[in-house]
Amino acid sequence: MSTQQQDHNNEHKYDALALFSGGLDSILAVKLIQQQNLRVLALHFFSPFFGKPHKIQEWEKEYGFEILPIDVGEEFIKIVKNPKHGHGSYLNPCIDCKILMIKKAKELLPLFNAKFIITGEVIGQRPMSQRKDTMNLIKKEAGVEDLLLRPLCAKNLPPTQIEKENIVDRSKLLDLRGRSRKRQLEIAKKFNIKKIPTPAGGCLLTDPEMANRFKKVLANIKDPSVYDFEICKIGRHFWSNKNWLIIGRNHKENLLITKMVREIDIVLKLSQIPGPIGLIRAHKTKTLSPNLIYYASQLIIKYSKAKSMRRAVKIQIATLDVVKEQEVIPELNTLLDKNPWIGPI
Ligand code: SF4
């Protein structure tokens, strides 16, 4: 049990745990249950692909309920790799994702003395995970048939055990359906919610460009970690077989890259002039040829002011135990023909 979980457990008892993404539907689901004088703890699950744990304080202040961050990164990677129910349009395993989060919430119920779980799901809002049949499947596979309430569309679903036992008043729940946000916006007004989150889900697995980057990692790295997916979010990315080159696009990204260096990495930068940082993540270090280092250096030059120089420039190449320098003559004209690094993606 984390210290944060203990704090919440010691200080409060709750009636319900809510899956809270930060989106409007999840806010309204909490509000509808709070309105019935029930205490709700919102759970904010996060991973390299979704979640904004840094916003929790702001949300708590803005929306008036408590939120607990829960890191599901490592477990989620396994699901992205091999989802039981498949991927959506891109790399999003929405059904498995929902099952994982609801199962986690179920595990936490006794810890917070809570009786049921709520979600902001609306029938017909999303093609994959919010169809009536998949919503039933999620409930069943997560083992929460008597414990899960979907307040926004409850009246379109058979009464749950929670409603039958009058723990919540079904008459005060909603009958939302479909993709329109009109009624949600009206209800938000009634709850005096001033800051309406944008409708985009913010899950990077549904972003085609990011999904491409993640796919490369899954295809080339045997056991990718949270750090491999975190670094996908910054820089320009190039691949040569199983070797991966990431080049910072600005000062901020350069700083982030230097914070993400791992033991197996090789870091390249211009020695005498400012420019991008390059990081080679070489999963088969022994096969990393001087040619790959040379063309990685050329790419570093290409994205710096050194590209127009007609003389050799010094590149610093650092591994865990050795830092050396190499002189490279910018050869941008011939670079495209011979460059073994494929990208940027
Ligand atoms: S869009 Fe992403 S966060 Fe949302 S359910 Fe699907 S996989 Fe999970």
Which ranges constitute the DSSP H helices of 3-117? 3-11, 24-34, 56-63, 73-81, 94-108
Q: What is the mean pLDDT of residues 188-205?
A: 89
In a domain, 70, yes or no: yes
Do both 59 and 111 map to the same domain?
yes
- 260 shares a domain with 200: no
Domains in the chain, number: 2
Q: Give the pLDDT confidence score for residue 121 in this predicted structure.
A: 94
- CA-to-CA distance for 208 and 89, rounded, in angstroms? 9
Return the beta strands (E) in the chain as ranges: 16-19, 40-46, 66-71, 116-118, 148-149, 236-240, 243-247, 265-270, 278-282, 313-318, 323-328
**Dihedral (C-alpha) 285, 287, 292, 293: value to the nearest 10 degrees?**
40
Range name among 97-111, 207-221, 271-285 with the lowest pLDDT average: 271-285
Residue with tokens 């899960």: 148
Q: Mean pLDDT throughout 182-189?
A: 95
Range of the domain at 286: 234-338
pLDDT-based confidence at residue 331 (cuts at 50, 70, 90)? confident
Contact 204, 91 (CB under 8 A): no
The atom of ligand 1 lying closest to the CA of 98 is 5
Would 116 be classed as within a structural domain? yes
Residue with more model confidence, 309 or 10: 309
- 191 and 308 housed in the same domain: no
Q: Is residue 269 part of a domain?
A: yes
> 165 C-alpha to center of ligand 1: Å?
31
Residue with token string 């085609």: 208
Q: How far apart are CA 210 and CA 270, in angstroms?
A: 28
Higher pLDDT, 23 or 130: 23
Residue 213 backbone dihedrals phi, psi, to 5 degrees: -65, -45
Pocket test residue of 129, 135, 210, 214 for ligand 1, highest count of atoms within 8 A of CB:
129
pLDDT at 11: 58
Ligand 1 within 6 A of CB of 94 = yes
**pLDDT confidence of residue 286:** 55
Q: What's the pLDDT at 129?
A: 73
In a domain, 213, yes or no: no
- Judge if pTM exceeds 0.85: yes
CB 205 near ligand 1, within 6 Å: yes
Chosen domain end from 186, 204, 222: 204
Would the CB of 98 count as within 6 Å of ligand 1? yes
What's the whole-number average pLDDT of the chain?
92
Q: Is residue 100 part of a domain?
A: yes
Q: In this structure, is residue 221 part of a structural domain?
A: no
Amino acid at 106: K
Looking up residue 109, the CATH number of its domain turns out to be: 3.40.50.620
- Asked whether residue 81 falls in the same domain as residue 146, the answer is yes
Same domain, 45 and 168: yes
Residue 306 Cβ < 6 Å to ligand 1: no
CB 160 less than 6 A from any atom of ligand 1 = no
Q: What is the average per-residue pLDDT within 155-178?
A: 96
Q: Whose CA is nearest to atom 6 of ligand 1?
A: 94
Say if strands 116-118 and 313-318 run parallel, antiparallel, or are unpaired. Answer: unpaired
CB atoms within 10 A of CB 317: 19
Q: What is the pLDDT of residue 254?
A: 98
Please check whether residues 199 and 241 belong to one and the same domain.
Answer: no
Query: Is 222 within a domain?
Result: no
List the beta bridge partners of residue 315.
270, 326
pLDDT above 70 coverage of the chain, percent = 93
Tens digits of per-residue pLDDT, 105-147?
999 999 999 999 999 999 988 766 778 899 999 999 999 999 9
